[in-house]
Copies of this chain bind each other. A is one copy, B any other.
Amino acid sequence: MLTTTADRYPTRVPVPKPSTPRTDPTVWGSQPGPLDRRTLIRHSTTGYSVHQNLFSADELSSYAAAARGLIDKPLLRHDPRVIREKSSLQVRSIFEPHKLDESIAHLVRDPRLLDRARQILGSEVYVHQCRVNYMPGFTGQGFYWHSDFETWHAEDGMPAPRAVSASIALTENFPYNGSLMVMPGSHRTFVPCVGSTPADNFRQSLREQTIGVPYPGSIAALASECGIDQFIGPAGSVLFFDSNLMHGSGNNITPFPRSNIFIVFNSIENLLVEPFAAPRPRPNFIANRDFRPLTSIDS
Contacts and interface: CB of A to CB of B under 8 A. Distances in A.
Interface of A: 137-138, 142, 144-145, 174-176, 178, 181, 216, 219-220, 223-224, 228, 230, 248-256
Given A223-B256, A251-B250, A256-B223, A228 B142 contact: no
B248 A250 contact: no
A119 B190 CA distance: 55
12 contacts: A137-B216, A142-B251, A175-B175, A176-B181, A176-B250, A178-B250, A219-B255, A223-B255, A224-B255, A228-B254, A248-B253, A251-B251
B144 A228 contact: no
Number of copies of chain A assembled together: 2
B254 A181 contact: yes
A228 B176 contact: yes
Contacts of A220: 137, 255
Contacts of A219: 138, 255
A198 B192 CA distance: 47
The list of the 3 closest CB pairs from A to B, nearest first, reads: A175-B175, A220-B255, A250-B250
A53 to B, nearest CB: 24
Contact of A230 (B138, B175, B216, B224): B175
Nearest to A145: B253
A78 B89 CA distance: 36
Given A220-B255, A250-B252, 17 more contacts: A137-B216, A137-B220, A138-B216, A142-B251, A142-B253, A145-B253, A175-B176, A176-B181, A176-B230, A178-B250, A216-B255, A223-B254, A223-B255, A223-B256, A250-B250, A250-B251, A250-B253
A84 B128 CA distance: 42
